Amino acid sequence: MNLLFVADPVEHFKIYKDTTFSMMREAQRRGHTVSVCEPRHIRWQQGSQVLARVRDLHLTGDAQDWYAVTGERQVALSSFGAVLMRKDPPFDSEYFYATHLLEQAERDGARVFNKPRALRDHPEKLAIMEFPDLIGPTLVTRDAQDIRAFHQEHQDIILKPLDGMGGMGIFRVKADGLNLGSIIETLNKEGTETVMVQKFLPEISEGDKRVLIIGGEPVPYCLARIPQGSEVRGNLAAGGKGVARALTERDMEIGRQIGAVLLERGMLLAGVDVIGECVTEINVTSPTCFQEIHDQTGCDVPALFIDALEKQLNLR
């Protein structure tokens, strides 16, 4: 089976930790062939199927020159056994348009994971609001007075933009309210942009856990991203330390409850962020941490993913 990965440029992959690379490696190990393109390489012309200019790859096993291009061609997305959307955020206008092109490719007969409509319908921060019993106190608003009232009630809060990634734009305001006005102005841009506000969860000191859900089932290990020094963010991109741990009963409960909903909507893979016992985000664009969990625990997450993919394609 030929798999197409729609991703960021492979030239920039850090293969020692890249989840998309680990998927490709496992797919090739099983005898599947791997092709890649970027969203900018996808085109749809009147009267035609959705096409992409793709490169066919062979993974060499070399740590430096890790791939060889064995061919370049323009081909319909429907000709692949599966198309995997692995483009990293931000979820900007171009990402949005890419989901529309991929959805048209589905109408042409392509099998796309995660489902393009599901990607559009599940903004990664707002999606948690569908599960009020699994989250801590949370407010989504543009209004500065709403934010001030929320701070007055909860005293210690986290503010973040809805389109941030990797911990970018996250602020903590404690009971003294220091710089709250300035932070609100920075994030809501005089009431023109929406902000998420959450009660600060002190359990962050034990890690922001990434619970992976594959085929509706939680992977038995998570990666706890632990803030370092005075940093409040556990994100690896913000300097957090990743420590793999077995899921708690609560983690497993969260994973199964959310996983059942997401799988029904066409999401083969998701990454649920959990602090303490509360969900803080549901990542569906390009969840990561496969290799970190595998390296630390031996749990073969890439194999679990390709198993689930093959099951969806009726190959198992």
- Distance between CA atoms of 138 and 196, rounded to whole angstroms? 7
Residue of 308, 227, 307 whose CA lies nearest to 262: 308
Average pLDDT of span 90-116: 96
pLDDT at 200: 97
**Sign of the torsion angle spanned by Cα atoms 108, 114, 115, 117:** negative
pLDDT of amino acid 315: 84
> Phi/psi class of residue 229: alpha, beta or left (left: φ > 0; alpha: ψ in -120 to 50)?
left
Pair of tokens at residue 78? 């429907």
Q: Which of 87, 93, 53 is nearest to 73 (CA)?
A: 53
CA gap 275, 254 in Å, rounded: 12
Instruction: Tell me 62's DSSP state.
Output: -
Q: What is the pLDDT of residue 222?
A: 98
Give pLDDT, residue 71.
97
Q: What is the pLDDT of residue 118?
A: 96
Contact 273, 280 (CB under 8 A): yes
- Residue 238's pLDDT band, with cuts at 50, 70 and 90, is low
Q: Are 162 and 196 in contact (CB under 8 A)?
A: yes
Q: What is the mean pLDDT of residues 6-25?
A: 97
Tell me the CB-side half-sphere exposure of residue 24, using CA atoms within 13 A: 25
pLDDT value, residue 229: 75
User: What is the predicted pLDDT for the residue at 6?
Assistant: 98
Res. 3: pLDDT tops 80:
yes
Q: What is the pLDDT of residues 173-205, one digit of tens each?
A: 999 999 999 999 999 998 999 999 999 999 999
Instruction: Kindly list the catalytic residues.
Output: 125, 160, 210, 225, 233, 273, 281, 283
What's the chain's average pLDDT?
A: 95
Which is more confident, 169 or 264? 264
Residue 234: strand, helix, or coil: coil
| pLDDT > 90 fraction of the chain, expressed in percent and rounded | 90
Alpha carbon 76 to its chain centroid, in Å, reads: 26
- Long-range residue pairs from 281-284, CB within 8 A, at least 24 positions apart, any chain: 281/124, 281/125, 281/127, 281/128, 282/122, 282/124, 282/127, 282/128, 282/258, 283/124, 283/210, 284/114, 284/118, 284/119, 284/122, 284/124, 284/127
pLDDT band for position 88 (50/70/90)? very high
Nearest to 30 by CA among 85, 82, 73: 82
Query: Which tokens belong to 189?
Result: 């841009």
Residue 155 is encoded by which pair of tokens? 């005293």
Examine residue 114 and say whether the peptide bond preceding it is cis (omega within 30 degrees of 0).
yes
**Amino acid in position 65:** D
**CA–CA dist 230, 102 (Å, integer):** 42
**The residue count for the chain:** 316
Q: Averaged over 94-98, what is the pLDDT?
A: 96
1 confidence band (pLDDT: 50, 70, 90): very high
Residues 6+ apart with CB under 8 A from 277: 203, 250, 254
Q: Quick one: tokens of 192?
A: 């023109």
In whole angstroms, give the CA distance from residue 94 to residue 108: 21
Q: What is the pLDDT of residues 34-70, one digit of tens each?
A: 999 999 999 999 999 999 999 999 999 999 999 999 9
**Mean pLDDT computed over 140-159:** 97
pTM to 2 decimals? Answer: 0.94
